[in-house]
Amino acid sequence: MIVTEHIDFQTKGNAEMTDLTAKVTAAVERSGLLAGVAVIFVSGATGAVTTIEYEPGLVEDMKDALERIAPRNVEYAHNERWGDGNGHSHVRASMIGPSLTVPFSDGKLMLGTWQQIVFLDLDNRPRYRRVVVQIMGE
């Protein structure tokens, strides 16, 4: 059986992190399914999903690491062509990736105790975001 849900939210951009764990957990509970996977997917090229221990220190530390991989202030061919100044956003999003697959069993996501599902808004401006939660199971 397959259930498709969405999570809609406002972000501030600039590597802001949003904790989606409670909403994904609720979607799995609403599905009534006991075993399967929740696929969390970002429709859009400047956002990404991963897991992390969601606490303010690591939110800052991820920003620093993203600056190492794709610094904001180097030259991007994307910016020269399109002028929207978010070349670094695209590169960062492609590196981390738009999809995450989390298994569940007995109706519960199999996350670690200190592990949250997070959305990273890597764009350079506030965005209204929609994340897909596709639940497949039995």
DSSP letters spanning the chain: -EEEEEEEEEE--TTEEEE-HHHHHHHHHHHT--SEEEEEEE-SSSEEEEEE--SHHHHHHHHHHHHHHS-TTS--HHHHHH-SS-HHHHHHHHHH-SEEEEEEETTEE---TT-EEEEEE-SSS-EEEEEEEEEEE-
Q: Which stretch binds a second copy (CB under 8 A): 7-15, 23-31, 70-78?
A: 70-78
Least separation in angstroms between residue 85's CB and a second copy is: 12
Q: What is the footprint of a second copy within residues 39-68 (CB under 8 A)?
A: 39, 41-45, 50-53, 55-58, 60-62, 64-65, 68
Binding flags for a second copy, 87-106, as an x/- string (CB under 8 A) = x--xx-xxxxxxxxxxx-x-
Q: What residues line the site for a second copy (CB under 8 A)?
A: 1-2, 4, 35-37, 39, 41-45, 50-53, 55-58, 60-62, 64-65, 68-70, 74, 76-82, 87, 90-91, 93-103, 105, 110-112, 114-115, 132, 134, 136-138
